Amino acid sequence: MSRAVEQYLAQLRASLAGADTALIQDALSDAEEHLTAALEQALAKEPGIAQDAVLESFIETYGAPGEVAAAYKEMETMTTIPFAAAPPSPNIEVRRRHGFFGVLGDIHTYGALLYMLFSLVTGIVYFTWAVTGLSLSAGLMILVIGIPLMTAFLLSVRGIAFVEGKLVEAVLGERMPRRSVFFKKDLGWWGAVKALFTDRTTWTAMLYLILQLPLGIIYFTVMITLIAVSLALIAEPVLHYVFDVPFVQTNHHYYYLPGWTMPFLVIGGILLLIVTLHAARGIGRLHGRYAKKLLVKGE
């Protein structure tokens, strides 16, 4: 990469300090894409142009780093919903999310619930892929074929990490970058392969894929159990009086609860269901943050 582009990006990164990671990444990749093209034009016109003059012309035409950073931050505050067609009124949104029963009106609750139930499936797929790919390519390292195999495998890990990031963004509402972090540096293909191997995100993404299986099992089991218990409690009066199903049944013994417990069971079931939704939303938030740490390139 040219020194002028690098300097400009460094200044832009400094101006963006403290902003959302994904926003920083958006701004830097836009600037890099644009300035590389602009530099090419400048060099075509004047082959021996000085780097300082190039940097100056960047600031002149692309805007001072501080201005550009401000433009991104402003845009971010204007459109904060990542995938909705039109952002809903923020007041309603805030009011709905709060309070014990507010969890029912929050779309992220159901997104998180769905995510946790599906994470068993994605966990199995990710884990299998990561472990198979890693052991296969590591094992074949003694032969020449191991290196291209490993490269292809690491590329696939980055690809999966990108898709998973999109999924987390859509379902859990955690903002993730809009572009994949494939080779950012102008290094040629060999440099790109080296960058793939040395980039921290490649390995943290692989860790994420592997950890997704145990996490998926826990998420799935806990959620299914909580939902099943709450629904069973809520349905107990119907089961008792209509279908004559005992509360507990062992081989030859049937246990029924007395009628006066029924209202308590139903209320308890409803409360447990709402607590479950709270748990789902909370864990979803935590998982979103954790996914961002492992799947997005830190600055």
Residues that bind another protein (CB under 8 A): 26-27, 29-34, 36-38, 40, 60-63, 67-68, 71-72, 74-76, 78-79, 81-83, 85-86, 178-180, 182-184, 186
Least gap, CB of 272 to another protein (angstroms): 38
Which CB atom, from 79 or from 221, has the smaller least distance to another protein? 79
Least gap, CB of 150 to another protein (angstroms): 21
**Is the Cα torsion angle 183, 184, 187, 188 positive or negative in sign?**
positive
Which CB atom, from 278 or from 297, has the smaller least distance to another protein? 297
Q: How far is Cα 274 from Cα 221, in angstroms, rounded to an integer?
A: 17
Q: How far is Cα 7 from Cα 13, in angstroms, rounded to an integer?
A: 10
Which CB atom, from 61 or from 135, has the smaller least distance to another protein? 61
Least gap, CB of 19 to another protein (angstroms): 12
Q: What is the largest CA-CA distance in the chain?
A: 94
Least gap, CB of 37 to another protein (angstroms): 4
Q: Give strand pairing partners of 255.
A: 248
Which CB atom, from 34 or from 278, has the smaller least distance to another protein? 34
Least gap, CB of 289 to another protein (angstroms): 21
Which CB atom, from 86 or from 242, has the smaller least distance to another protein? 86
Which CB atom, from 79 or from 128, has the smaller least distance to another protein? 79
Burial class (CB in 10 A: 0-12, 13-18, 19+), 113: buried
Least gap, CB of 128 to another protein (angstroms): 28
The owner of tokens 């068993």 is: 120
